[in-house]
Amino acid sequence: MRNIFAILILTLALDSAALGKVTRVGVAKLDITPTHPTLLAGYGGRVGEHVAVDMKLWARAIVLGQENPVLLVAVDNCGVPAKLTKGIQRALKSSLGLAPEQIVICSTHTHNAPSLTGYAPVVWGSRVTEQQQLRSDRYTQWFVEKVLEVSHQAFHARQPATLHWGQGQVNFGGNRRVLSEGRWTGFGFQTNGPVDHSVPVMVARSAEGKPIAIWTNYACHCTAEGSRNHISGDWAGNANLQIEKQHPSAIALTTIGCGADIGPQPSGSQDIAKQHGQTLADEVSRLVALPLKKISCEVKASDRQFDIPLSTPAPKEHYEEHAQGEGFEAERSRLVLAYEKEHGKIQTHVPYTITCWKFDQDLAIVFMAGEVVVDYAVRLKTQLDWKRLWLNAWSNDVPSYIPSRRVLQEGGYEPGFSQTYYGLPSPYSPAIEDLILKEVVDLVGEEFENPDPDQPAPDFLKQPSATQQFIRSIDRWYDNLDQESKSDLKSITSLAEDSINGVEQLLTKDPATASWFNFSGLHAERPFIRQTDELQRLSWKTSASAKTGTKSRFLFAGGLGWSSQPKTDGFEVLLNGKAELKIDVSLTTTAWESPGKQVRLDYLVTWSSDTDSAGLFYLTVPNEMLDKHGQLTIEVHSLGTGSLRWFSVDNIRNVKEVEQAIIERVEGR
What is the rounded distance in angstroms from the CA atom of residue 530 to the CA atom of residue 39? 31
What is the average pLDDT across 479-496? 73
Asked if 507 and 633 sit in the same domain, the reply is yes
Query: Which structural domain, as residue segments, surrounds residue 653?
Result: 467-667
User: Has residue 219 been placed in a domain?
Assistant: yes
Per 3-state DSSP, what percentage of the chain is helix, strand, and coil (rounded to 5)?
30, 30, 35
Q: 546 lies in a domain?
A: yes
Report how many domains make up the chain: 2
Cα–Cα distance list, 7 to 4, 20, 21, 160, 209 (Å): 5, 20, 19, 21, 22
40 touches 113 (CB < 8 A): yes
Tally of CB atoms within 10 A around 212: 21
> Per-residue confidence at 476, pLDDT binned at 50, 70, 90?
low
**Are 505 and 570 within one domain?**
yes
- Picking from 461, 493, 523, the residue at the C-terminal end of a domain is 461
| Domain assignment of residue 343, yes or no | no
Is 572 found in the same domain as 512? yes
Contact yes or no for 579/594 (Cβ under 8 A): no
In the chain, the N- to C-terminal Cα span, in Å, equals 64
The residue out of 461, 481, 499 marking a domain boundary is: 461
Question: Of 583 and 514, which is predicted with more confidence?
Answer: 583
Same domain (yes/no): 495, 644: yes
Boundary-marking domain end, from 408, 437, 461: 461
Q: Quick check: is 306 in a domain?
A: yes
When pLDDT is averaged across residues 368-394 and rounded to a whole number, the result is 96
Same structural domain, 74 and 104: yes
* 339 falls within a domain: no
The answer on pLDDT for 354 being more than 90 is yes
Beta bridge partner(s), residue 203: 164, 214
- Name the pTM for this structure: 0.77
Q: Are 496 and 415 in a shared domain?
A: no
Q: Which helix (H) or strand (E) holds 277?
A: helix 270-288
Count other C-beta atoms under 10 Å from residue 5's C-beta: 9
CA dist., res. 534 & res. 568, Å (int)? 11
Q: Within this chain, do residues 393 and 522 fall inside the same structural domain, yes or no? A: no
Judgement on whether residues 234 and 101 belong to the same structural domain of the protein: yes
Residue 228: name the closest of 487, 617, 611 by CA: 611
Query: Are 453 and 511 in the same domain?
Result: no
In a domain, 9, yes or no: no
Name the band, by pLDDT with cuts 50, 70 and 90, for residue 592. very high
* Helices of type H across 323-417: 328-343, 375-383, 405-410
Q: What percent of the chain has pLDDT over 90?
A: 75
Indicate if 366 and 478 belong to the same structural domain. Answer: no
Position 151 in a domain: yes
C-beta of residue 79 within 8 angstroms of C-beta of residue 398? yes
d(CA 584, CA 640): 10
Q: What is the mean pLDDT of residues 406-430?
A: 96
Q: Is there a domain that residue 574 lies in?
A: yes
Closest CA to 371 of 240, 239, 223, 188: 223
The pLDDT-based confidence of 298 (bands split at 50, 70, 90) is confident
* Cα 632 from Cα 550, distance rounded (Å): 15
CA distance 133 to 219: 32
Q: What is the pLDDT of residue 657?
A: 75
What's the chain's average pLDDT? 91
d(CA 41, CA 38): 10
Distance CA 232, CA 277 (A): 12
Least confident of 157-171, 226-240, 486-500: 486-500
Residue 550 belongs to a domain with what CATH number?
2.60.120
- What pLDDT, on the 0 to 100 scale, is given for residue 4? 43
Could you give the CA distance from residue 298 to residue 162 in angstroms, rounded to a whole number?
A: 11
* Shared-domain flag, residues 471 and 451: no
Query: 3-class secondary structure for 573-624?
Result: EEECCEEEEEECCCCCCEEEECCCCCCEEEEEEEEECCCEEEEEEEEEEEHH
Both 389 and 534 in one domain: the answer is: no
Inter-CA distances, 103 with 148, 256, 487, 622, Å: 11, 17, 53, 71
State mean pLDDT over 596-621.
91
Burial code of 65-86, b = ≥16 C-beta within 10 A, e = fewer?
Answer: beeebbbbbbbbbbbbbbebbe
